Protein backbone atom coordinates (compact mmCIF):
# COMPACT_ATOMS: atom_id res chain seq x y z
CA UNK A 1 0.00 0.00 0.00
CA UNK A 2 1.12 3.61 -0.59
CA UNK A 3 2.18 6.16 1.96
CA UNK A 4 0.32 6.59 5.25
CA UNK A 5 -2.47 8.99 4.23
CA UNK A 6 -1.81 11.94 6.50
CA UNK A 7 0.82 10.82 8.97
CA UNK A 8 3.62 12.73 7.25
CA UNK A 9 1.62 15.72 6.02
CA UNK A 10 1.90 19.26 7.31
CA UNK A 11 -1.22 21.33 7.98
CA UNK A 12 -0.85 23.06 4.59
CA UNK A 13 -0.32 19.76 2.78
CA UNK A 14 -3.51 18.38 4.38
CA UNK A 15 -5.41 21.51 3.28
CA UNK A 16 -4.21 21.02 -0.27
CA UNK A 17 -5.12 17.32 -0.22
CA UNK A 18 -8.61 18.26 1.03
CA UNK A 19 -9.02 20.56 -1.99
CA UNK A 20 -7.81 17.89 -4.39
CA UNK A 21 -10.13 15.26 -2.94
CA UNK A 22 -13.07 17.69 -3.04
CA UNK A 23 -12.41 18.75 -6.64
CA UNK A 24 -10.98 15.51 -8.02
CA UNK A 25 -8.21 17.46 -9.72
CA UNK A 26 -7.11 21.08 -9.68
CA UNK A 27 -4.59 23.59 -10.98
CA UNK A 28 -2.28 25.54 -8.69
CA UNK A 29 -4.57 28.58 -9.06
CA UNK A 30 -7.66 26.56 -8.13
CA UNK A 31 -5.92 25.19 -5.04
CA UNK A 32 -4.75 28.68 -4.12
CA UNK A 33 -8.34 30.00 -4.29
CA UNK A 34 -9.65 27.31 -1.95
CA UNK A 35 -7.18 27.07 0.93
CA UNK A 36 -7.38 29.28 4.02
CA UNK A 37 -4.82 32.06 4.39
CA UNK A 38 -3.17 31.09 1.11
CA UNK A 39 0.57 31.52 0.68
CA UNK A 40 2.09 32.60 -2.61
CA UNK A 41 1.49 30.83 -5.92
CA UNK A 42 5.06 29.54 -5.90
CA UNK A 43 4.69 28.19 -2.34
CA UNK A 44 1.59 26.22 -3.37
CA UNK A 45 3.40 24.93 -6.44
CA UNK A 46 6.35 23.86 -4.27
CA UNK A 47 4.02 22.12 -1.81
CA UNK A 48 2.34 20.27 -4.67
CA UNK A 49 5.78 19.12 -5.83
CA UNK A 50 6.54 17.84 -2.31
CA UNK A 51 3.20 16.00 -2.19
CA UNK A 52 4.05 14.39 -5.51
CA UNK A 53 7.51 13.36 -4.26
CA UNK A 54 5.85 11.78 -1.20
CA UNK A 55 3.56 9.82 -3.52
CA UNK A 56 0.30 11.48 -2.46
CA UNK A 57 -0.52 13.16 -5.77
CA UNK A 58 0.16 12.89 -9.49
CA UNK A 59 -0.08 15.48 -12.23
CA UNK A 60 -0.68 15.64 -15.94
CA UNK A 61 -0.39 18.45 -18.41
CA UNK A 62 -3.54 19.93 -19.95
CA UNK A 63 -2.32 22.42 -22.55
CA UNK A 64 -0.24 25.04 -20.78
CA UNK A 65 -1.37 24.10 -17.27
CA UNK A 66 -0.72 21.24 -14.89
CA UNK A 67 -3.61 19.41 -13.23
CA UNK A 68 -2.92 17.72 -9.91
CA UNK A 69 -4.97 14.90 -8.42
CA UNK A 70 -4.72 12.45 -5.54
CA UNK A 71 -2.66 9.34 -6.31
CA UNK A 72 -5.24 7.10 -4.62
CA UNK A 73 -9.04 7.24 -4.68
CA UNK A 74 -10.63 9.13 -1.80
CA UNK A 75 -12.27 5.98 -0.44
CA UNK A 76 -8.87 4.24 -0.18
CA UNK A 77 -7.36 7.27 1.53
CA UNK A 78 -10.36 7.53 3.87
CA UNK A 79 -10.09 3.85 4.80
CA UNK A 80 -6.33 4.05 5.41
CA UNK A 81 -6.71 7.26 7.47
CA UNK A 82 -9.48 5.73 9.56
CA UNK A 83 -7.40 2.58 10.17
CA UNK A 84 -4.49 4.77 11.26
CA UNK A 85 -6.77 6.78 13.58
CA UNK A 86 -8.25 3.64 15.17
CA UNK A 87 -4.77 2.13 15.72
CA UNK A 88 -3.29 5.36 17.06
CA UNK A 89 -6.04 6.69 19.31
CA UNK A 90 -8.19 3.66 20.12
CA UNK A 91 -5.65 0.86 20.47
CA UNK A 92 -6.98 -0.80 17.33
CA UNK A 93 -10.50 -1.07 18.77
CA UNK A 94 -13.17 -0.25 16.19
CA UNK A 95 -15.72 -0.57 19.00
CA UNK A 96 -14.01 2.15 21.06
CA UNK A 97 -13.78 4.42 18.00
CA UNK A 98 -17.46 3.90 17.15
CA UNK A 99 -18.47 4.56 20.75
CA UNK A 100 -16.44 7.78 20.74
CA UNK A 101 -18.12 8.93 17.52
CA UNK A 102 -21.56 8.16 18.91
CA UNK A 103 -20.71 10.02 22.10
CA UNK A 104 -19.59 13.23 20.42
CA UNK A 105 -22.01 15.97 21.35
CA UNK A 106 -21.94 17.68 17.96
CA UNK A 107 -22.73 14.51 16.02
CA UNK A 108 -26.39 14.13 16.89
CA UNK A 109 -27.77 11.23 14.93
CA UNK A 110 -31.36 11.02 13.79
CA UNK A 111 -33.46 7.94 14.30
CA UNK A 112 -32.99 7.16 10.59
CA UNK A 113 -29.19 7.49 10.97
CA UNK A 114 -29.21 5.11 13.93
CA UNK A 115 -31.38 2.62 12.04
CA UNK A 116 -28.96 2.67 9.07
CA UNK A 117 -26.03 2.11 11.44
CA UNK A 118 -27.88 -0.77 13.13
CA UNK A 119 -28.45 -2.33 9.69
CA UNK A 120 -24.74 -2.03 8.91
CA UNK A 121 -23.87 -3.64 12.25
CA UNK A 122 -26.29 -6.48 11.51
CA UNK A 123 -24.81 -6.95 8.02
CA UNK A 124 -21.26 -7.02 9.45
CA UNK A 125 -22.37 -9.57 12.05
CA UNK A 126 -23.90 -11.74 9.31
CA UNK A 127 -20.65 -11.55 7.31
CA UNK A 128 -18.63 -12.55 10.37
CA UNK A 129 -16.75 -9.24 10.71
**Are 59 and 53 in contact, with CB atoms under 8 Å apart?**
no
Domain ranges of the chain: 1-92, 94-129
Selected from 1.10.645.10, 1.10.10.10, 3.90.1150.10, 3.40.50.200, the CATH number assigned to the domain covering 1-92 reads 1.10.10.10
pLDDT at 2: 47
Q: Are 17 and 26 in contact (CB under 8 A)?
A: no
For 96-125, the pLDDT digits (tens) are 888 888 887 566 778 888 888 889 888 888
Cα 93 to the chain's mean position, in Å? Answer: 20
The answer, yes or no, to whether residue 50 has pLDDT greater than 90, is yes
Contact 94, 86 (CB under 8 A): yes
11-22 pLDDT, tens digit each? 999 999 999 999
Q: Is the pLDDT of residue 95 over 50?
A: yes
Query: How high is the pLDDT of residue 107?
Result: 62
Amino acid sequence: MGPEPTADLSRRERQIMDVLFAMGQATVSEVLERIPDPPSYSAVRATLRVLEEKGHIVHHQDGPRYLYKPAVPQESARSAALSHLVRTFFGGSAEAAAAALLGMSRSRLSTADLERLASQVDAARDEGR
